[in-house]
């Protein structure tokens, strides 16, 4: 009985330490953003916090990096957006709070709905952050990073299913996202938001996230029933297609976005 009480106390203590360390990480990143002009130091802090990825035999490194790629994408994207929000302190506080929510309540969950949410968050934030900083880059790194975002998100979702062809489908979805990245690189729209510094609502992030959501619903329906049932996908399809049509036809024509 004493052993059980001791184990419970240790469990509560470790949980408290886990919470405090994650909050400290988010606050430390915000402090680095305020103190240093370059995001490299903040990137290094995030990568150092992932030391457990490499705390195994080298043959497991690649698998661990793949398993943690969604979290890394979200973390690096938050840093980029924090820098983009320079001067808008309230927006930086909100981003930091959102990152804490990610670390404590979203990232640790393993239920399928949370896994899908994790992949969707990485897709939206990853594309948003990439398009925020890549306006003067060459096309090749933009397309490559878009592929990496799509591949990582797809693999993250598929790993929660009993799928024998995870690598193939992940590579395929990464290629589709890369194609969208190549197109939007040449014609990028972003919508102004007030009070958030240079953060903009990136059109390509909305499009890729919508298509990713639709693809996940189609795949989920197929794996559950052995076929794609219209009742499972009709609403997601209408929502996704409607959003994309509104963005591409209505807002672009009105010039609501900035290139």
Q: pLDDT (tens digit, 9 = 90+) per residue, 106-162?
A: 999 999 999 999 999 999 999 999 999 988 889 999 999 999 999 999 999 999 998
Helix (H, G, I), strand (E, B) or coil at 54: coil
Residue 178 is predicted with a pLDDT of 97
Q: Mean of the pLDDT values across residues 216-241?
A: 92
Positive/negative CA dihedral, 198, 202, 206, 211: negative
User: Rg of the Cα trace of the chain?
Assistant: 20
* Minimum mean pLDDT range among 70-79, 184-193, 237-246: 184-193
Write out pLDDT tens, residues 165-222.
999 999 999 999 999 999 888 777 888 888 888 898 999 999 999 999 999 999 999 9
Specify the residue for token string 């390509």.
Answer: 204
Distance of CA 98 to the CA centre of its chain: 12
Question: Chain-wide mean pLDDT for the chain?
Answer: 90
148: buried, middle or exposed (CB in 10 Å: 19+, 13-18, 0-12)?
middle
Residue 259 is predicted with a pLDDT of 45
Query: Which residues neighbour 201 within 8 Å (Cβ) at sequence distance 6 or greater?
Result: 128, 190, 191, 193
Residue 4 is predicted with a pLDDT of 42
- Portion of the chain with pLDDT greater than 90, in percent: 68
Closest of 130, 140, 139 to residue 205, by C-alpha: 130
């Amino acid at each position: 009985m004493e052993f059980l009480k001791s184990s419970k106390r240790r469990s509560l203590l470790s949980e408290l330490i886990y919470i405090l360390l994650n909050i400290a990480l988010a606050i430390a990143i915000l402090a680095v953003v305020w103190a240093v002009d370059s995001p490299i130091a903040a990137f290094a802090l995030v990568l150092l916090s992932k030391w457990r990825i490499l705390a195994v035999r080298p043959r497991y490194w690649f698998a661990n990096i793949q398993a943690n790629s969604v979290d890394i994408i979200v973390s690096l994207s938050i840093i980029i957006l924090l820098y983009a929000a320079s001067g808008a302190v309230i927006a930086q506080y909100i981003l930091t709070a959102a990152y804490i929510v990610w670390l404590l309540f979203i990232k640790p969950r393993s239920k399928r709905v949370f896994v899908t949410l994790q992949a969707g968050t990485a897709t939206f934030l990853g594309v948003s952050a990439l398009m925020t900083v890549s306006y003067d880059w060459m096309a090749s790194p933009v397309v490559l990073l878009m592929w990496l975002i799509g591949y990582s998100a797809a693999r993250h979702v598929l790993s929660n299913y009993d799928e024998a062809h995870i690598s193939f489908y992940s590579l395929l979805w990464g290629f589709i996202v890369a194609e969208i990245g190549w197109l939007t690189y040449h014609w990028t729209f972003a919508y102004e938001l007030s009070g958030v510094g240079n953060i903009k609502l990136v059109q390509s992030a909305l499009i890729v996230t919508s298509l990713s959501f639709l693809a996940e619903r189609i795949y989920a329906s197929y794996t559950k029933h052995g076929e794609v049932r219209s009742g499972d996908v009709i609403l997601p399809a209408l929502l996704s297609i409607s959003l994309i049509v509104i963005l591409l036809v209505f807002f672009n024509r009105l010039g609501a976005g900035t290139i």
